[in-house]
A and B are shown apart, each in its own frame.
Chain A
Amino acid sequence: METTMTNKLDLVLEQLARIEARQEAVEEFIEEMTPVATAMMGAGITTFADFEQRGYFEFAKEILRAVDIVITTYSIDEVRFFTDNAVLILDTVRNITQPDVLNLIDEAADAVHDAGDAKPVGAWGMFQATKDDDVRKGMSVALEIVRQVGRAASKMQSGESPIRKPRTGPSHRPAAPQPAAPVTPTAPTAQGAPTVTQATPAKAPDPGFLNDWTVEKAAEIAASIGIEFTPEHKTVIEWARADYIERKSSPNVRRITKGSGCDTRTLYQLFPGGPGKKVARIAGIPKPGGCI
C-alpha cells in the first residue's frame, strides 16, 4: 500500500520536474529571443522605410491596379491569346524599341514638329527633293514598309492566320542590350539593435501659439470676439498662458478653474460659449484638446 503511494508520488514528482524544465526552457527562449526580435524589428523598420521612401509600395499598388484593369477589361479568351502570343508581341516590341528604330522614330517626330515651318512644296519642289540622297533613301524605306503592309494585308484577307511564327535564324539587328546587373539594397549593417535613424521632427511651431503676445494684444483679441477685457479676465488669461508655457499643454476648463482661482460658473460668464477655446485664443495658446 505504502509503496504504491510512494510510486505514485514519484511519478508525480517526475512529471512536475519535467513541466518545470519545460517552463524554464520557454522562459529562457523568451529572454533570448527578445533582443533578437528587437533587432529584427529595427532592421525591418529601416528596410521597409527605405522601400516606402523609394516608392516601392506605391508602385506595387499600381501594378496591382494595372493587373486589375487588365483582368476586368479583357475577357479570358483575349488574355489567353495574349499569353499564347506573348513571344511574338514581345519580339515586336523589341523590334520597335531597337535603338536605331527609336532614333528613326525620334527624327521623324522631330520632322513632324518642324512641319509647321515647312513651306508648301509644288511639283517642281518635289522634283528638286528627289535629287537629295536622304530623301531618296527615305522614299525607299517608305516603299518597303508599304510593300510589307500590303503583303500582310493580303494574307489577312485570304484568311491566313495573322500569327507569325517568331523569326528564327541570325538577325541583322544588333544584339538586344543586356539587362543591368540587379541592384541589391544594402543590407542594414548594424550589429545588435539598430536604431532607426529618423531625425526627430524639428519641433514644429505650435499652431495657435502667438510668440509676440502681449496683454494689449490679448485685449484686442478679446474685443474681436465680443469680450470686454476686464481685470478679472486678465487674471485668468495670464494664468493660462503661464501654465501653458510651463507644461507645454493648454489647460482645460477644469484646470483653469482650479489654477486661476476663478470658479466655473464665473468662468462661463466671463467667456461665454466654450471658455476653454476662448481663453486659449485670447491667451495666444493652442486650444485644449484630446489625443485624437
Chain B
Amino acid sequence: MKQLVILGAGTAGTMMANKLVKVLSPREWRITLVDRDTDHIYQPGLLLLPFGTYRKADLVQPRKRFVPSGVELNLGGFSHVDPEAQTVRLEDGSTLKYDLLLLATGTRIVPEETEGLTGAGWQKTAFDFYTLDGSAALAKKLEDWPGGRLVLNIAEMPIKCPVAPLEFVFLADAFFTKRGMRDKVEIVFATPLDGAFTKPRAAAKLGHLLVERKINVVAEFGLDTVDGERKVIRSYDGREENYDLLVTVPLHRGSAALDDSNLVDDSGFIETDRNTLQSRKYPNIFALGDATDLPTSKAGSVAHFQSEVLLPNILSFLDDKPLAASFDGHANCFVETGYGKGLLLDFSYDVEPLPGRFPLPGIGPFTLLEESYVNHWGKLGFKWVYWNLLLRGKELPIDHNLVLAGKWR
C-alpha cells in the first residue's frame, strides 16, 4: 500500500485531494490530508467583512465537508518533514511515511516580525484584515470610527492576494462616502513598490481611479517599525507617516513547520519548479498554492490553475514518464473598486494584465482592466462556485493556461 500525504487542507490541498482520489486506485494508494484546525475559511471574503458585506459565519465551513470519502482527514497538525527519510511527524508525535508528498501549506502573516506592530495599539488602532479575527475586529472599529487619517500599509511583498490592499482603499472610499463622512477621512496607501500600479497597461488605465477617489500614494515605503503610542509608521530610510487608523498587510511567511525541512527559502516558501510544480530538491515532493516560491501572485485562481497542471504531472511522475504539463503562471483575479463595480485581471508569468473581454472575445461578459458591474457580481457569485465546484475538484470551463483571445494589445 503506497502512501500519499497532502499537507494543508485549504483551497489547494482540498482541490488536489478531490482530484487525486478519483484517479488513484484505493487498492494501491492511501491518501492522508493533514491540517491543524477544523475551519475552512473563504479568504476572499475577509476583504469584505470589515465593510459589513459578510459576517464571520458567512465565511466559515468545516473542512471535513469538502474531503471526499477515500481520503483520510487528520486535523492534528504536523510539526516536521524529513525529506530524506520520507516521513512527516505529526503534532501528536506519530509519524507518517510517504511515497509521494504534496505540500499545500499556504502562507501566514507574521505581524510580530515587524518591530512595534503587535505592541501598543495592536487591534485597537492598528489592524489586519488577513485573519478572520483581525477582519472582524476591524469591522467593529469601522462601525463607529469618527474619521481621521487612515493609512493602508503593505509591509513587504510577497503577500497573498496582492490586489487586496488596493481593493481595501477603494472600498473604504465608497464606505465612507456612503456614510457621508468621506471628507472627514484621509486615505493613504503606503507601499514598498514604486507605485500602486507597477505594470504599464494597468497604470495607464487605472491610475485615474486613485486621483478621482482622493487616495494618496506613498511609494517605496519599506516598513521598518511601528510606534503604536505615537501612532506612526517608519520606513527603512527614515520617512514617517502618522495615522489615526492603521490597516496593515504584515509580512508573510510560509508554514513554520517547514522551516527546518530543507525544502524552503529564507522566507519559508517552498522552492518549486515554476513550470512542473515539483520541488527543486526532491522529485517525490510537489507543491502548489500560496506555499511556493513561484514568482506569481498568491491567489486562489492560481492554485486552481496549478492543480490542473499538477494532476497530470503527478500521474506522469508515478508512471516514470517526463512531466509534460507546464504551468504558465496564469492568474485570474476579480478586483473590487467600490460602488458596486469591479475589475477583472487575467495575466501570467509572461503577460501583464491586458484590457479586453473574458472569457469570450468581444462578448465577455467580464471586462478586463475595466470597471463594470458584471465583474462585481462575478466576484460575489464566486463564493458559490468556490464551495460547490472549485473545492470539490470540479473542472471549470476556463483554460488553465492564459488565453490571449479576447485581449486587446
B residues near A49, Cβ cutoff 8 Å: 361, 405-406
CB distance from A76 to the nearest CB of B (A): 31
Report the Cα distance A287→B405, complex, angstroms.
Answer: 28
B260 in the interface, Cβ–Cβ < 8 Å? no
A268 near B361 with CB under 8 A, answer: no
Chain B 68-90 near chain A by CB (<8 Å), digits 1 or 0? 00000000000000000000000
Looking at chain B's contact residues, the main secondary structure is loop
A292 near B406 with CB under 8 A, answer: no
A45 near B350 with CB under 8 A, answer: no
B266 near A34 with CB under 8 A, answer: no
Report the Cα distance A30→B395, complex, angstroms.
Answer: 10
B397 near A30 with CB under 8 A, answer: no
B198 in the interface, Cβ–Cβ < 8 Å? yes
Q: Which residue of A lies closest to B159 (CB)?
A: A290
Chain B 292-316 near chain A by CB (<8 Å), digits 1 or 0? 0101110000000000000000000
The residue in B265, B349, B359, B405 that gathers the most chain A C-beta atoms within 10 A of its C-beta is B405
CB distance from A153 to the nearest CB of B (A): 50
Report the Cα distance A292→B163, complex, angstroms.
Answer: 7
A292 near B222 with CB under 8 A, answer: no
Q: A48-B360, A198-B403 are in contact. Are A291 and B395 (CB under 8 A)?
A: no
Report the Cα distance A196→B405, complex, angstroms.
Answer: 8
A272 in the interface, Cβ–Cβ < 8 Å? yes
Q: Which residue of B lies closest to A53 (CB)?
A: B361
Chain B 343-362 near chain A by CB (<8 Å), digits 1 or 0? 00101011101000001111
B147 in the interface, Cβ–Cβ < 8 Å? no
Stretch at the interface among A13-21, A170-178, A227-235, A247-255: A247-255
A48 near B157 with CB under 8 A, answer: no
B192 near A276 with CB under 8 A, answer: yes
A residues near B359, Cβ cutoff 8 Å: 41, 44-45
A259 in the interface, Cβ–Cβ < 8 Å? yes
A56 near B362 with CB under 8 A, answer: yes
CB distance from B273 to the nearest CB of A (A): 11
The total of chain A residues at the interface (CB under 8 A) is 48
B353 near A291 with CB under 8 A, answer: yes
B residues near A196, Cβ cutoff 8 Å: 399, 403, 405
Chain B 147-160 near chain A by CB (<8 Å), digits 1 or 0? 00000000011000
A residues near B399, Cβ cutoff 8 Å: 42, 195-196
A274 near B220 with CB under 8 A, answer: yes
CB distance from B85 to the nearest CB of A (A): 27
The residue in A249, A265, A273 that gathers the most chain B C-beta atoms within 10 A of its C-beta is A249
A residues near B335, Cβ cutoff 8 Å: 292
CB distance from A178 to the nearest CB of B (A): 31
- 17 CB-based A-B contacts, threshold 8 Å: A30-B394, A41-B360, A44-B359, A45-B359, A49-B361, A52-B406, A57-B361, A196-B405, A248-B349, A268-B236, A272-B237, A289-B198, A291-B162, A291-B331, A291-B347, A292-B166, A292-B206
Interface residues of B (CB under 8 A from A): 156-157, 162-163, 166, 192-194, 197-199, 202, 206, 220, 222, 224, 236-237, 251, 265-267, 274, 293, 295-297, 328, 331, 333, 335, 345, 347, 349-351, 353, 359-363, 389, 394-395, 397-399, 403-406
